[in-house]
Amino acid sequence: MPHASSTSLPKTSEVEAPEDSEQLPVTSYQLEQNYPNPFSQIPRFAGNPGTTISFALAEASRLSVAIYSITGRRVRELVNSEMNAGRHAIRWDGRDHDGNTVAAGIYFYRLIVMGANGEIVFTQTRRMALVK
């Protein structure tokens, strides 16, 4: 299981409740396509640089959301904590675990949800593109 880095990072990947969180109750685990996709780190192209990753939890769970390069190397772990049931969103600013800007290209993001005994109850991976 991925572990949290001891490196202090800027607060660029805060978890927030999406605006539509008052809709129907969440009944299953879901990982949505990031938005925008492709995204840029340059404000003049993206307006608000970075991308938002949204997911839903059917029940309070321990989870991990991490970014991987096309070669499978973990670039950054955005979340590794217990979260309440419901809809959640997190932003990724295109930086690695050391705070360095990553290269343009294809990246993957993975949601792993653990059950009460530490077993994986849900995992899903999606693809995204970073352009310069």
Domain edges within the chain: 15-131
Express each pLDDT in 69-84 by its tens digit.
999 999 999 999 999 9
Amino acid identity of 70?
Answer: I
Express each pLDDT in 9-56 by its tens digit.
444 445 555 555 456 788 899 999 999 888 877 665 545 679 999 999
pLDDT of residue 25: 83
pTM of the model: 0.78
Angle at CA of residue 56, ends 52 and 61, nearest 5°: 115
Angle at CA of residue 84, ends 79 and 89, nearest 5°: 50
Query: With respect to CATH, is domain 15-131 assigned 2.60.40.2550?
Result: yes
pLDDT of residue 4: 41
